[in-house]
């Protein structure tokens, strides 16, 4: 099981990195430029820390699924991803909109983007993290 959790964590990290590029690097770029006073200049971004944060988040997401999800399959992974994405997206997108002067359109993209990212991650972990009959469990 441990090897599959590690493999799933790496796969989720890669998927989130690609989706983050599409969402933040392409779709949100005009909104970020319009609100440049809210963000660090690109030269001051902490991208190394961002990658560490993303891999740790992927590990937590995958580890929680491995620890509590039952049965471990794609359907359960999708449900897990949708629930996780909805709850995370609410706080990330709409919660941030409540306290920062970001455009509502940016908050909505963060909200929907988070749901999409977590659902994709749910499909990935549901496909990879499974209990084989020889390991017992489900």
Residue ranges per structural domain of the chain: 2-132
Q: What is the mean pLDDT of residues 17-40?
A: 95
Q: Which residue has the tokens 């999708």?
A: 78
Q: Tell me: pLDDT of 23 over 60.
A: yes
pTM strictly above 0.85: yes
Axis crossing angle, helix 47-68 with helix 104-128, rounded to the nearest 10 = 50
Q: Are 123 and 10 in contact (CB under 8 A)?
A: no
For residues 56-63, give the mean pLDDT: 98
pLDDT score of 138: 46
Is pLDDT larger for residue 130 or for residue 108?
108
Q: What mean pLDDT, rounded, does the chain reach? A: 94
Q: What is the pLDDT of residue 17?
A: 97
């Amino acid at each position: 099981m441990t090897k599959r959790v590690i493999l799933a964590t790496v796969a989720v990290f890669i998927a989130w990195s690609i989706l983050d590029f599409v969402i933040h690097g392409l779709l949100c770029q005009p909104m970020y430029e319009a609100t440049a006073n809210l963000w660090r200049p690109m030269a001051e971004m902490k991208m190394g820390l961002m990658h560490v944060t993303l891999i740790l988040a992927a590990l937590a997401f995958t580890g929680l699924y491995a620890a509590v999800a039952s049965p471990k399959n794609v359907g359960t992974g999708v449900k897990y991803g949708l629930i996780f994405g909805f709850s995370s997206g609410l706080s990330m997108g709409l919660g941030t909109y409540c306290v920062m002067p970001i455009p509502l359109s940016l908050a909505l993209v963060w909200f929907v983007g988070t749901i999409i990212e977590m659902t994709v991650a749910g499909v990935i972990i549901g496909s990879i993290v499974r209990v084989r009959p020889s390991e017992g469990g489900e």
